[in-house]
């Protein structure tokens, strides 16, 4: 008798817990399409940039220094073993104020 009661109790517990998981997952918002996710991501990025510009005094400065690079990407192609992998990125300050570089490190 105890085994039957215990088996019924376990069965009831499992069935209630499974039904609770199914009903709680239905309450969540519907799955968003890829386009909706992209739009939300773009909106968040715009908000982040707007907040960053509001906190950055140089963002609204027309005389701020501007680093202009001659190239942003260098394709090494296929390299031989032990080949020299050096590449120089030349940049110029096209802004009106001095460009100050600090904590410069190679990656």
Least confident window among 9-18, 37-46, 49-58, 65-74: 49-58
Residue of 69, 64, 57 lying closest to 97 (CA atoms): 64
pLDDT of 4: 74
Domain boundaries, the chain: 1-27
Which has the higher per-residue pLDDT, 31 or 43? 43
Total residues belonging to the chain: 107
pLDDT tens track for 58-100: 667 888 888 999 999 999 899 999 998 888 989 999 989 999 9
C-alpha to C-alpha distance for 40 and 46, rounded to whole angstroms: 10
Q: What are the DSSP calls for 75-89, one per residue? A: ---S--TT-------
CA distance readout (Å), 42 to 37, 39, 53, 56, 82: 9, 5, 16, 21, 42
- Gap between the terminal Cα atoms of the chain: 72
The whole-model pTM stands at 0.40
Which has the higher per-residue pLDDT, 52 or 73? 73
């Amino acid at each position: 008798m105890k085994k039957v009661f215990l088996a019924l109790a376990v069965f009831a517990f499992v069935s209630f817990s499974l039904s609770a998981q199914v009903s709680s997952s239905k309450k969540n918002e519907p799955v968003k399409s890829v386009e909706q996710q992209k739009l939300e991501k773009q909106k968040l990025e715009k908000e982040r940039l707007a907040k960053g510009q509001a906190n950055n005094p140089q963002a609204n400065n027309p005389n701020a220094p501007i680093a202009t690079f001659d190239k942003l990407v260098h394709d090494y192609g296929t390299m031989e073993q032990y080949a020299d992998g050096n590449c120089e990125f030349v940049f110029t300050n096209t802004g009106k104020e001095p460009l100050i570089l600090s904590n410069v490190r190679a990656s």
